[in-house]
Amino acid sequence: MPMGSPSYPAGPYRFIDREYLIISYESDPEAIRAALPDPLQPDGSNRVLCEFIRMPDSSGFGSYTESGLVIPARFNDKPVNFTAQMYLDDHPPIAAGREIWGFPKKLGHPKLQVVHDTLTGTLDYAGVQVAVGTMGYKHQHL
């Protein structure tokens, strides 16, 4: 980390009051296999998770939103989650995510918001809307 102009502050890091919308969907087994690096193996479920996450209170990073794809997999016959893609709307958590934790973070325009009575997650990348997820918001008390 450059001493005079760091992209992000030194830790420790805390992420408080995160909000999630996670959509599980079935994908093509060949596409899943192609997205997993060796030695990871598909877990056989053919599932992929599309995540929209709002981070309103992150120490050193402030408020930001991210979206990504997570593939359930196996490593040495143990279940793991492989983060295939991540898109964030702020530079410091992108740099920290890549440099500290090795996540494949890139700049995009993810949003997670309530629109009337619907929780809505969207991801725009390179000027194109590439993902949308919705669900009813507070229809039932949980």
Q: Which of 78, 105, 106, 111 is catalytic?
A: 105
105 flagged as catalytic: yes
Rounded CA separation 80/95 (Å)? 24
Query: What are the pLDDT tens digits along the chain (142 aa)?
Result: 566 788 888 899 999 999 999 999 999 999 999 999 999 999 999 999 999 999 999 988 999 999 999 999 999 999 999 999 999 999 999 999 999 999 999 999 999 999 999 999 999 999 999 999 999 987 666 5
Q: What is the pTM of this model?
A: 0.90
Rounded CA separation 90/85 (Å)? 16
Domain 19-136 classified CATH 1.10.3720.10?
no
